[in-house]
Structure 1
Amino acid sequence: MKSPFARRLAGAAFAACAMLALAAPGLALAQAQVPVGTGTAPDELAPPVKHQAPFFARRITGYLPARDGTQLRFSALLPKGKGPFPVIVNYSGYDPGSIGGAAYMDDNTAMSVNLDRALVQAGYAVVGVSARGTACSEGQFEFLSMRYGQDGRDAIEWIAIQPWANGAVGMANWSWAGMSQIATAAEQPPHLKAIAPGMVLGDARLDSWFIGGIPAPGFVDGWWGYLHSRWDAARHSAQAEGDQRCLAQIAQNLQTAEKNRVPSILIRHPVRDDYIEIRNMAARTHQIQVPVFSMEAFQDEAVIAREGYYQETLDPARLWFLQTNGAHDVYVSTRFRRQLIAFFDRFVKGRVNGFEATPHVQVWTEATLAGPAQGIFENLTPGVTLKSDVFPLQVTPRAFALDAGGKLVPDAPAGTGQDDYDYPLRGPAVQHEFTRDSWEALKPGWEKATLAYTTPALAEDFIGYGSGAADLWMAASGADADVQVTLTEVRPDGQEVYVQRGWLRLSDRAQDPARSTPLRPWPLDRPDSMAAMVPGEPALARIEIQKFAHVFRTGSRIRLWIDTPSQFGGNLFAPQSVPTRLTVLHDAAHPSRLMLGQAPASAVVGAIPASAPACGTVLHQPCRADPLAGNAITLGLPQPQGEK
């Protein structure tokens, strides 16, 4: 590993709920596992994994009962002092029931040892609980079933009455351990005081398994090998401890979990039926009554930034929301951690510390990895911060009309003409290389399989925020196709910066009128609402551009690419493969447009730096040379022989 991104991603990034699209079977990778060095040289290599010195005064392991008698493995790390202590719970199907064991002390764990250390040093007992049917816990594995939240409630209530616990319990961590929090809190356990979920699947289908209705099987295929690697870590700890019960249970779970292996579930349930709808946890999060500190990463390569929009179902007065550019594992950021512990001190310990004055919305943009850190992503540092004292941060919808000649015209009602492109040559992958932020090279013939629309140079800064929409009037020569749109910034220096993407299967284009807004398409996504395209007949395809925040500076141009779904991080799509000619119409009768939210300048904390960050420094927003530089390429049309 030679690049800066190698050291910050090694052993992390695609981990946790990150479903490793290109991982080899059984590849063992762990979140926040490999520490980075404390130096700042760009070519610094990651040091080897180091053994952690004990930071807890006492470790207690055992099994706690769910309501049906199933025994769930737990491990409690207690701080110094007499106790009893407030408790922070880490609950998932990875290896939390083995925290503090031999593998964990070698940094081989799904979550962050450094975060646990900080919590213990702050006076909290940290308790890990393994979900039923995973690692050392009894029961049948079933990902995100209703029982998952019920078991979480049972665990919280059992932990709260232990002699070393004072009855006040919070929950922390991200990915699967974030999903556990919203599932558990929706069950309203009386002793749960606060949760801090990060990077979750609020609606597993649209957030991961079928984004925009398009199958993304690479997501779950790689994850199954990662899950087994986490149970291998639990087995390593059990072997060191001579825990035969745990070893026997892991061996059994490796067999019985295959019944509900997630790839098999998606084969059995390719549309939103009752089984899949149970995995829509955002449909139940309105039942959450405790304070919530939510974190998400816009360019999350694992679970994307959609999260079922569960935050909008919560009491906004009891929600604090931090969003940032970057990767799945930036929850470990020490800048975030300081706020996290203050949040728990206020609502779990009950300490009056002024946390309520924290803005309800914080948005980090242009975040880089700057300065020393002990673990991956801990030194995440924003370049521009937005804030709002109320949720949500209000934006002004701005329309950009698609027009002839690849133009994207601000504030215009409609353009003229239409453009065609060949399907299904995949667009370029982004974040497809595990060791660095990346754009894939363009494929031969891409000029005929891609459309692009670009604004004139901006006369003033444009602060884009929130979800967006590509409202495209499309016609197809066949019955169905999948569409990918990519939002970028083209800088005056000729570099093109990745901002965000969106996806839609055209047969899943019917919209939910109760949930859709000008800035957020929301597919009905039910079998009875899906319909094939009528060849040659235009239909409106509203494509959700995932949430983002980005400063498009004066002199830059905003661009929208349209092509065939490829890969973003762990999300490797399986688009329809029938060759089709697709048409994007943009005339008065078919006003195709890009809709973006513009945040007010008053939301910016301080001043926006005049110069954009250097390419390659902003986490998960890679640059490339502008492929359209010089305007020598006419997209969607056959190219003259020899023209590039």
Structure 2
Amino acid sequence: MRRGWACGAVSAALAFTLSSAAASTASGAPRFSAHGSANQVYVTGLAPHARMSLVNRRGQQIPSIYNQTIPSHGYGYLRTRDGTKLAIDVRLPSDLPSEVGLPVPVPRPLAGGQYPTLIEYSGYGYADPPAPVNGIAVLANAMGFAVVDVNMRGTGCSGGAYDFFEPLQNLDGYDVIETVAHQPWVLHHKVGMMGISFGGISQLFTAQTRPPDLAAIAPLSVIDQTQTTLYPGGILNTGFAFTWAKERVHDALPASPSGGQSWAYQQIQQGDETCKDNQALHSEAVNLLGKIRTNNHYVPAVADPLSPITFVNKINVPVFLACQWTDEQTGGHCPDLAEHFTGTSRKWFTFTNGQHIDSLDPQTFNRWCDFLQLFVAQDLPANGCALTRAAGPLIYQTAMGIPGVSLPPDPIQQQPTYSGALAAFENLAPIRVLFDSGAGSGAAGQPSPGFEDSFSRFPVPGTFGRSWYMGSNGTLNDSRTGRGANRFTWNPRALPMKDFNGGTGLGSGGLWTALPKYQWNPNPSGTSVSYMTAPLSSNTVVIGAGYARVWVRSSSRNVDLQATVSEVRPDGNETFVQNGWVRADERKLDARKSRPLEPVLSLRAKDVQPLPRGRFTQVTVPLYYEGHAYRAGSRIK
């Protein structure tokens, strides 16, 4: 048991009273059972709509933690059910910096001082008073929302100890939602959740707990499973994923000049005693890097609670979700989530090519704003989205360093009534795919798609598989052309370890700029094999997953394989589309989970099998999802 949990003989210190609406036995005595644990009481056996009160030994009713008062503006703390204090900062539209020169007036609170309210929740420095670290509260403020930025337990100035999406974090999220919703300044006494990346993923974990006052969630750039990002194909992702885990370990340390989140150390230096006291358990954070190394194979009891595809079916509120096929941080497996959101009929998804930040591209931004106005603010999008529409060029210059980007016309925002806008939005197809982002209207590299299409579900109805067979001389053919083998010698120094050397983000050489400078070079001869189709006779659109099935013989009993799919245009230019990976000794497929176009690796330790010596063995390389239009005359490589 982790130190710091408030445990004890809770049931011995509490008493229960039951109102007259409760179920009773024939003798009139109430019939239910209750037990206490960690400052919680679990009650079963009540009739529907029965009411209970929790009282102390003196018969005094114990107030709900959800009735606590938190600041209506600025920095403070929120107490969860186990007594942990989470650092928060309430940011209002009036906090928008005046020096940026907004083109229209800042939204004001409604009568009574109420704001539609959103929660942004992660282990980043969201509660940092000047501005959230890696947060997007400023965008929601510009849409007229108050934003409550919350640091997860064990990070920043929040109490407790950190672990990666443990159950306590999910329950904390529940408590945050219910506490904020009960504040007098919250419109409708319902709140939404919004955020990107860490702040998007946390919404999935929290919403599965079904807080009654959660209005909607809007996660951007998220994962479908921890495994598909951390161990793609059974290979540890030592690029972004493992580096991100190292950063979380550092951020979870007690705040000091050399560890923890720097803003928390500054708070302590400025006299924040609560922040100082909250560092007590930070040193008890779970060894996240050790946990990653230990769990290098699929163990359902460990992996499934960390895999949103296993629990998003519990989410019962409206959902707007956007992610990218080629996200350099969370990976290209997010679209797998769409078919698992079975708990709500109000769900909309946008998928596009692009980087981690492209879930905020103009077309997606419009729909994101519409969704939050309709389902959280319960207001006409034309009202709430007016400032962001006018400030579009400023937003994209600031967020991506790309000038001249405006939000396109939006039919939902052109609706004159709330009911009309809501009906129009609910009539939208659930699945929206944006193609060729960066090649639409405007200058090259601006975040605008060439075209888009919409579908009733994902995987897309009418999808069928197309196979090509590897042949001699590097060809991909419509049918098998005989026997043969191609050889190559793996050379880890054949190419640089990275094909991009700039920083993630905007600024000179940044990855999120219009035309980042990739050094994507072909492998030197003899260090890989490649195959290419004949020129396509017609445009071919691919939406979904796939695989490369190869027969492998190796001088090593184990090899890591990567398959890369690209489009080679008639002029010789090549466009990256997608990757797939597999560690050869992890090649066994999970027959129960696999589908014809989506093979799923077992990744269980019991299924590990080295390659046999001296003979060919079939290996399937699952390809991550793509949404790409291959043009007539191009070749698929």
User: Which is greater in Rg?
Assistant: 2
2 CA distance for matches of 1:218 and 1:524?
23
**2:243 is matched with which residue: 211, 218, 222?**
222
**1:67 is matched with which residue: 74, 77, 81?**
81
Q: 2:356 matched to 1:325?
A: no
**2:372 is matched with which residue: 344, 354, 357?**
344
**1:185 is matched with which residue: 198, 204, 207?**
207
**1:95 is matched with which residue: 125, 133, 144?**
125
2 CA distance for matches of 1:371 and 1:497?
19
Q: 2:462 matched to 1:438?
A: no
Residue matched to 1:606: none
Residue matched to 1:278: 305
2 CA distance for matches of 1:545 and 1:249?
48
Change (3 A) 1:244 1:71: same
Which structure is higher in strand share?
Answer: 1
1 CA distance for matches of 2:567 and 2:600?
25
- Where do 1:359-370 residues align within 5 Å? 359-368=429-438
- Where do 1:155-170 residues align within 5 Å? 155-165=176-186, 166-170=188-192
Aligned residue type for 1:409 = N
Q: 2:567 matched to 1:545?
A: no
Partner deviation per Cα, 1:219-254 (whole Å, 9 max, x = no partner): 3443256555796463387379x351365267657x
2 CA distance for matches of 1:427 and 1:387?
42
1:401–1:415: 8 Å Cα contact kept in structure 2? no
Number of paired residues?
483
- 3-state SS of 1:329 partner: helix
- Where do 1:318-467 residues align within 5 Å? 318-350=346-378, 351-352=418-419, 353=421, 354-368=424-438, 380-394=447-461, 395-410=463-478, 412-413=479-480, 415-423=482-490, 425=492, 428=495, 431-434=499-502, 435=509, 436-442=516-522, 446-467=524-545
Residue matched to 2:293: 267
Q: CA deviation at 1:211?
A: 0.9
1:235–1:246: 8 Å Cα contact kept in structure 2? no
Aligned residue type for 1:135 = G
- Higher RCO (C-alpha 8 Å, min separation 6): 1
Q: CA deviation at 1:417?
A: 1.6
TM-score by length of 1: 0.70
Q: CA deviation at 1:470?
A: 0.8
TM-score by length of 2: 0.70
Point out where structure 1 has 5 or more consecutive residues left out of the alignment.
1-56, 560-644
Residue matched to 2:140: 116
Alignment RMSD (CA, Å): 2.8
Partner deviation per Cα, 1:251-288 (whole Å, 9 max, x = no partner): 657x626x434323222332223434432232112211
- 3-state SS of 1:188 partner: coil
Structure 1, 263-272 or 291-300: larger mean CA deviation: 263-272
Q: 2:632 matched to 1:554?
A: yes
Q: CA deviation at 1:442?
A: 5.0
1 CA distance for matches of 2:328 and 2:586?
23
Residue matched to 1:175: 197
Q: CA deviation at 1:554?
A: 1.3
Partner deviation per Cα, 1:458-494 (whole Å, 9 max, x = no partner): 1111112211211222233332111001101111111
Identity among equivalent positions (%) equals 27
Residue matched to 1:76: 90
**1:133 is matched with which residue: 154, 158, 170?**
154
1 CA distance for matches of 2:627 and 2:494?
23
- 3-state SS of 1:212 partner: helix
Change (3 A) 1:84 1:431: farther
2 CA distance for matches of 1:477 and 1:233?
50
2 CA distance for matches of 1:173 and 1:415?
53
Q: CA deviation at 1:504?
A: 0.4
1:173–1:331: 8 Å Cα contact kept in structure 2? no
Aligned residue type for 1:201 = I
1:200–1:307: 8 Å Cα contact kept in structure 2? yes
Aligned residue type for 2:196 = W
Residue matched to 1:633: none
1:296–1:323: 8 Å Cα contact kept in structure 2? yes
2:338–2:458: 8 Å Cα contact kept in structure 1? no
Q: 2:316 matched to 1:289?
A: yes
Partner deviation per Cα, 1:606-628 (whole Å, 9 max, x = no partner): xxxxxxxxxxxxxxxxxxxxxxx
Aligned residue type for 2:429 = P
Residue matched to 1:86: 116
**1:499 is matched with which residue: 567, 577, 582?**
577
Change (3 A) 1:427 1:182: farther
Change (3 A) 1:491 1:342: same
Aligned residue type for 1:460 = S
2 CA distance for matches of 1:426 and 1:150?
47
1 CA distance for matches of 2:310 and 2:467?
31
1 CA distance for matches of 2:526 and 2:458?
43
Change (3 A) 1:71 1:247: closer
2 CA distance for matches of 1:282 and 1:470?
24
Structure 1, 462-471 or 529-538: larger mean CA deviation: 529-538
2 CA distance for matches of 1:499 and 1:417?
27
2 CA distance for matches of 1:139 and 1:526?
33
Change (3 A) 1:494 1:59: same
- 3-state SS of 2:574 partner: strand
2 CA distance for matches of 1:115 and 1:247?
28
Partner deviation per Cα, 1:140-174 (whole Å, 9 max, x = no partner): 10011122222111111111111112321111112
Partner deviation per Cα, 1:75-100 (whole Å, 9 max, x = no partner): 122353234333211000002223xx
2:158–2:275: 8 Å Cα contact kept in structure 1? no
Aligned residue type for 2:150 = V
2:89–2:150: 8 Å Cα contact kept in structure 1? yes
Aligned residue type for 1:260 = V
Q: CA deviation at 1:437?
A: 4.3
1 CA distance for matches of 2:277 and 2:533?
59
Partner deviation per Cα, 1:402-456 (whole Å, 9 max, x = no partner): 112211013x25653222222353675565322334134456xx32220000001
Residue matched to 1:40: none
- 3-state SS of 2:454 partner: strand
Aligned residue type for 1:302 = Q
